[in-house]
């Protein structure tokens, strides 16, 4: 799923009240983000409807990145009950992301 400034509140904040949401903050020009992206996509397919997994391009949604203090990318945030529960910066393996996400199922 692609998140942006327009849909962030509905798709992330509101949705996280019923199930966890993982957001990958990235930019097209970021080398590590190009590695993290496919991992996040694969996790999204694997986790199915139990959680929402998506990405937010910081270049197109600088307001959201600023609101959550994203200073370096990739940054991965897990939201539950409308709040950030996990905050990770840098590359993360799928297994670690899945384990963290499953804590909030």
The two tokens of residue 37 are 């992206």
Instruction: Please tell me which residue in 33, 64, 76, 77 is annotated as part of the active site.
Output: 33
Instruction: Please tell me which residue in 13, 27, 30, 88 is annotated as part of the active site.
Output: 30
For residue 40, the tally of other CB atoms under 10 A from its CB is 21
Report strand pairing: 75-80 vs 83-89: antiparallel
> Does the annotation count 43 as an active-site position?
no
Q: Kind and range of the H or E element at 2? A: strand 2-3
> Does the annotation count 30 as an active-site position?
yes
The two tokens of residue 31 are 């080398």
Strands of 75-80's sheet, edge to edge?
2-3, 52-57, 21-26, 75-80, 83-89
Show which residues are catalytic.
30, 33
């Amino acid at each position: 799923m692609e998140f942006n400034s327009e849909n962030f509140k509905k798709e992330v904040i509101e949705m996280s009240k019923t199930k966890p949401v993982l957001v990958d903050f990235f930019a097209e020009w970021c080398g590590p983000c190009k590695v993290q992206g496919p991992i996040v996509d694969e996790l999204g397919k694997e986790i199915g409807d139990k959680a929402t997994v998506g990405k937010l391009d910081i270049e197109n949604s600088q307001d959201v990145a600023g609101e959550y203090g994203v200073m370096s990318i990739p940054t991965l945030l897990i939201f539950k009950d409308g709040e950030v529960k996990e905050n990770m910066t840098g590359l993360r393996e799928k297994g670690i992301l899945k384990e963290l996400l499953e804590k909030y199922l």
